[in-house]
Structure formats: structure tokens, C-alpha cells
Chains A and B, each alone.
Chain A
């Protein structure tokens, strides 16, 4: 690169506007549940601000139609910037990474178990455009 080209590329670098830089920095975290029930297709569920109830009956946002799952077994909801899973007094319990919980904050790669269903919690960063 000769001196003239060098100075052109320098000026191009400087020309990137402050707005563009700031736009690139605006991100939001998006959270997902990956629901794996025996002999059923895997379900990817994007979490929002609404409460997600999981249970045996069809009025749940995530239906787990198995006999060892309570009707409204557990729920996932946001509090501040964190998602929590909470057991709704189910018969067979809700487990996070093998521990029977009443309530637990969720962190990436946490495994929620309800009956034979395995639910993985994950987070991704998305750019806000």
C-alpha cells in the first residue's frame, strides 16, 4: 500500500459515523427453551415477557401430555432481567440440573426436568436495529 492509498483508507475509517457505531452496540438478550419430550418432535420456544405455563392439559403454553406431569406443573417467567422456573406444587416435582426446586433463576445450559421431558434454557444476543 503506497502512502496515498494509506491516507485514503485512513479517511474512510474516520468517516464511519458515530451513530453507526452506537447502533452496533445496542443489543438485547433473547432466551429460549428447547423442549425434548420422548417420541415427540423437539420444540424451540422463544421466551417473552409473558408467563409460560407447562403442564399436561392443552390450556398450557407448553403441553406435556404425560401421565406423570401435573395439569399446570410449572411455569417460566421474567423478573427484572432474569428468567425463573417455578414449580406449581406439582405431584412429581420440577428439577433443575438434578435438584428438586421450588423456584430457580435460569442460566444458560440449565436443564429443567419435568417427568421424562428435558428442557434446556439458552440465551442469545440479538442486535436491535
Chain B
């Protein structure tokens, strides 16, 4: 793999981990994606999928002893399925790592306090403060731009109960958007048309325009969405039609519903691949699966 921008899906499931035979293909671990950019790891969300990523990073660190061991973790929000893997992320225990964590405070608590709370002794045996790595918490503002070497990250607010943040990663003209836990249907019709002149909708559309890869919440079928309005997730046709209108080059449908088995997702994806196979401009679509790495 000679490419310098590698995107790997470590957890693709939404809401709760779903181990077992019926989910082994698309995966049972909750949200976590890495972008390995010229050797540096940028991690998006710390659902249970971050645990195997930690194992991989420890393996690489053992080989490349003198490499800088700095990791960058961006949290969309602090619902369980986006933070639960953090206490099992091995590099966090290793003093030779520096872990930079980015996210937003919610109304009641600073990011650091929420993560400390998850490791309170009522829930977990080891305190966050006892972890060996050097950790830095960065509470972000929407207007922030994060530049790390030649990698640039910008933010967009999403529509989700309690809030959620999207991150756009840019490097050498390539754009990758990570946008999960988002109820796009409040702002767009299922045909991808803007609703009620939504300001957030306009911002979002401009933000994903021409993305090389859009990793986005597509938890529900349109039928499921009808009974799950207000739960903070998107219906597949809304996501895909808006992406098509925004000239996105490749879409990874992400944050799979815990009830969606491999065979269900196979059928769902087959029906949408057919619908979009001849559209102009060309847009590649796939349902994100655990253990898949793309070169962008």
C-alpha cells in the first residue's frame, strides 16, 4: 500500500455493539475510523472499534521504535457508541504516547469531565488520570481550524440530540468528511432538496461539496425513518441524493442500525447501487465495513 492517505473502518455500527455471525461482514464494533496520513494517525470517534486500532498501533510502535508517537483523536460527540472503546485503547496506557483529544463541551460538562465520568469507579476499574499516556483535551469552537503538519481539519455542526460535530480532513487537495449522528432529514427531503430554507442545511451542503470521500450516517431505511423521526439519524435516500447533488465522489454509508444484519445490508446496498449506477457525475457508494482500508 504505497498511498499516503489510508482510511480504515474499525467500527461501523451505531448505537450499540452487535457481535455475532449475522454481523461479521459489516462488523459489530461501534464507530471508529482512522485516517493514516503520511504515517500520522487521525482517529475519528472512540467507539468499541478503537480497541483493535489500538492493538494495531501498538504493533507498529513496537517495530518503529523511534517514531513520534503522537495520536490525534476527534470525537463527534460523547454518546456511548462514540466513546466506549477509549478505556480499552492500549496506547492510552503507554507513557510513550501522546494523545490529543478534540471535541466539544456540551451544555453541562467539559469534554474532559465527560470522559473522566465514563471511567468513574462505578463504571470502570481504572481512572482516566491513571492512564500512562500524556493526554491533552481540546474543547473546540465551530470556527476552529486545526492544522497538524500539512493536514487540515475544519468543523461543521450536525443535527443530533445533544449535538454532534462533523470533521473535514484535507490534505494535498483531497477531502474526506466524517459526519455521523446527523438527522439530515430535518433539513433535506429524501430527494436531497433543501427544506424550509434551512441555514444548517446550506452550510452542510457547501461543506461536503466535491468531497473525495463522505463517511456519513445512513442508519435508517426510509420506512424505518418514518417511525424514528427525532432520534438523530438519517434515512439512506436523503444521504445519497444530497451527496449526488453535492458532487461527492464516494460515499460510505455508516453507523449501521443494530438490527441490520449482513444479509439485510447486502440487499439494501444492492437496491441503492442499482439506483445510482448510471448517475452523472459518477458517485461510488458502499456500506462501510469493519476491516476495510481505502486509499484516497
Q: Which residues of A contact B (CB under 8 A)?
A: 82, 84, 86-89, 96-105, 107, 110
Contact = CB atoms under 8 A, between A and B. Distances in A.
B273 A102 contact: no
Contacts, number: 44
Interface stretch (B1-9, B139-147, B155-163, B231-239): B1-9
Given A86-B1, A89-B1, A89-B2, A102 B293 contact: yes
A103 B1 contact: yes
Contact of B291 (A97, A98, A100, A104): A104
Closest 5 interchain pairs by CB? Answer: A105-B291, A103-B293, A102-B295, A89-B2, A107-B25
A92 to B, nearest CB: 14
B286 A98 contact: yes
B273 A98 contact: yes
A99 B294 CA distance: 9
A62 to B, nearest CB: 19
A101 B25 contact: no
Nearest to A87: B1
Interface of B: 1-3, 6, 8, 24-25, 273, 284, 286, 289-295
Contacts of B286: 97-99
Nearest to A84: B291
Contacts of A88: 1
A101 B9 CA distance: 12
A24 B38 CA distance: 49
Nearest to A97: B286
A89 B6 CA distance: 13
B286 to A, nearest CB: 5
A100 B212 CA distance: 13
Given A89-B2, A107-B24, A99 B293 contact: no
B290 A102 contact: no
Nearest to A110: B25
Contacts of A84: 291
A110 B286 CA distance: 14
Contacts of A102: 1, 3, 6, 293-295
Contact of B292 (A82, A87, A98, A99): A99
28 contacts: A82-B291, A87-B295, A88-B1, A89-B1, A89-B2, A89-B3, A96-B292, A98-B273, A98-B286, A99-B284, A99-B294, A100-B284, A100-B294, A101-B292, A101-B293, A102-B3, A102-B6, A102-B294, A103-B8, A103-B293, A104-B292, A104-B293, A105-B289, A105-B290, A105-B291, A105-B292, A107-B24, A107-B25
